[in-house]
Amino acid sequence: MTPAAARATAPPAPAGPSTGAATAAPAAPAGVRPAGGAPGTGGSPAARPLLDWRIRFGVLALIWGFSFLFIKVGTESFAPLYVTLGRMVFGTAVLAAVLVVKRERLPRGARVWGHLAVAAFFLNALPFSLFAYAELTISSTLAGICNATSPLWGMVLAVVAVSDDRPNRQRVAGLGLGFIGVLIVLGAWQGFSGQDPAGTSMALVASLSYAVGWLYVRRTLSGTGNSHLAMSGAQLLLGTVQLAVVTPLFAPAPDSFPALPLLSVIALGALGTGLAFLVQYGLVAEVGPTTAMMVTYFVPVIATAAGVAILGEHLSWNTPVGALVVLAGAALTQSRPHRKARTGAE
């Protein structure tokens, strides 16, 4: 999940390949309630977490960084749509179990569910599927770096769309720097040789889809009065239904279930989509969205390390250099001008 997600009023599922979040997809808005109290419920503060937030921060970065490896291994035996469907099923199962334990209800109202269906498409079904298809022809390393461009796409939308979050010069500079980083990663000076254009394009469109989804969520699902857990559980459920309808029509059903790819899909869903949301939500509630969303900048680093060390993917000098430029640009796009504190006389 990229920093833009943390500013949405209803958190997408963790992006993993997002996001994610996780997603997105994901976290919580500036108006996040303290842990243990769902919005509008007046819940009591939660007990002190067993693990320090820094440890959970590192775990979240590892989970999302390894998500790209899990996708790569899963697509070796299963059609991309089935990898995505499996991810959604296991991610939804985790959140459903937590909802039952906490005795929380899913949101009510046709309007809310309609907006959540759109959010599920742009934040889960579409980008998760695109990343799975992309990794048929590109490395998990490149997919992880493409995922880091989501804040850049968010800036593009802020520039071209009517937005209350207009960019300043520093953020526009970050946008330009980020896309220079993308060109470095892809080796533009040598004609993008060695990169699959279709796969790379799908990964970049997946990152754009996250940005579109977050903008939609921010404008349509603020102030619903539902908890972030309930909203995200409903969103994942709707995304699962969407994929369950489409997948059998466009992909051959698996005729076998090899252990390693199956475990990768389970881990991708249960950890990268389900558990990751719970960890991220806890981080946002404890240390705030600004600190929690910094995990985004560690994800491509871990994805690159995992791809090279475990999958043996080739890494040329321009990949890490370009990735650092992308992350620097993405960080600039999230900068905010300092505002003077108002006094009582104002």
Q: What pLDDT tens digit does each residue of the chain (346 aa) get?
A: 433 333 333 333 334 444 444 333 333 332 223 333 333 333 444 556 778 888 998 899 899 999 999 999 999 999 999 999 999 999 999 999 999 999 999 998 999 999 999 999 999 999 999 999 999 999 998 998 888 888 888 888 877 775 556 667 777 787 788 788 888 877 766 665 667 889 999 999 999 999 999 889 988 987 777 888 999 999 999 999 999 999 999 999 999 999 999 999 999 999 999 999 889 888 888 887 767 777 877 888 888 889 989 999 887 877 788 888 888 887 777 666 555 444 444 3
From 265, 315, 330, select the one nearest 17 (Cα to Cα): 265
Terminal CA-CA length for the chain: 38
